[in-house]
């Protein structure tokens, strides 16, 4: 069995060493495919994580959502490796949180219930062609997704797609996987 930690290190190396011009091109293609999709167009609220520098930039997605009058919510990490999403209307409602990720300031935001999030964009390091993901290992999204009923989607470059990954019984695939070549499903 392939070691998850080695895979995480491989994925992080791949993302961190990607030339900036290549990264921008992948992000442009991901955004174009996403914004043209019915998955995006049909959603009135979008849940996503504020990206770290080596991840796919989510600010473009947030800006487009706000322009389209969609609600945007981002997670705040909670005790016991949980997450609570909050709607944001401005970047001023964010602060540096756990793992150097921008998180909502609860006093300035409205909580978002799971059923109010139409489209949840799920982060990951590697993905299978069937939508299973390898995350950072904290289990935050694994726990959140257990009773999430609406649409999930992940964004990835072609290089982040693996034939197989170690999958645990509690792992759940995303509903849609979008790469810089388009939707795999």
- Per-residue pLDDT tens digits for 109-127: 999 999 999 999 999 999 9
Per-residue confidence (pLDDT) for residue 143, from 0 to 100 = 95
| Residue 47 annotated as binding site | no
Taking the C-alpha atoms of residue 160 and residue 139, their distance in angstroms, rounded to an integer, is 19
pLDDT at 39 (0 to 100): 98
- Please report the pLDDT score of residue 25 as a whole number: 98
Distance CA 66, CA 121 (A): 16
Answer yes or no: is 89 a known binding residue: no
Could you give the C-alpha distances from 125 to 94, 104, 106, 167, in angstroms and in order?
A: 24, 23, 28, 14
| 10 assigned ligand-binding residue | no
* Residue 141 annotated as binding site: yes
Return d(Cα 117, Cα 176) in angstroms, integer: 15
pLDDT at 98: 82
114 labelled as ligand-binding? Answer: no
In this prediction, residue 99 carries a pLDDT of 84
Ligand-binding annotation for 182, yes or no, is no
CATH of domain 4-183: 3.40.50.10420
- pLDDT at res. 170: 87
- Residue ranges of domains in the chain: 4-183
pLDDT at 79 (0 to 100): 87
pTM of the complete model = 0.96
Query: Is 5 flagged in the annotation as binding?
Result: yes
- What b-and-e string marks burial along 130-160, b requiring 16 or more CB atoms within 10 Å of the CB? ebbbbbeeeebbbebbeebeebbbbbbbeeb
The segments of the chain whose pLDDT lies below 70 read: 1-2
For residues 83 and 97, give the distance between their C-alpha atoms in angstroms, rounded to a whole number.
12
The verdict on whether residue 139 carries a ligand-binding annotation is yes
55 marked among binding-site residues: yes
pLDDT of the residue at 76: 98
């Amino acid at each position: 069995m392939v070691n998850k930690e080695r895979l995480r290190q491989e994925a992080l190396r791949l993302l961190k060493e990607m030339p900036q011009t290549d990264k921008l091109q992948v992000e442009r293609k991901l955004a174009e495919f996403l914004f043209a999709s019915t998955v995006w167009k049909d959603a009135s609220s979008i849940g996503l994580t504020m990206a770290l520098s080596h991840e796919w930039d989510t600010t473009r997605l947030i800006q487009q959502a706000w322009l389209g009058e969609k609600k945007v919510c981002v997670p705040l990490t909670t005790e016991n490796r949980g997450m609570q999403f909050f709607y944001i209307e401005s970047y001023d409602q964010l602060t540096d949180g756990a793992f150097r990720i921008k998180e909502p300031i609860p006093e300035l935001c409205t909580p978002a219930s799971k059923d109010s999030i139409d489209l949840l964009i799920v982060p990951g390091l590697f993905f299978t062609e069937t939508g299973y993901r390898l995350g950072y290992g904290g289990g935050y999204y694994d726990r959140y997704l257990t009773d999430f009923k609406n649409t999930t989607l992940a964004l990835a470059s072609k290089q982040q797609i693996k034939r197989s990954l170690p999958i645990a019984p509690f792992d759940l695939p995303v509903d849609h996987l979008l790469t810089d070549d388009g939707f795999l499903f």
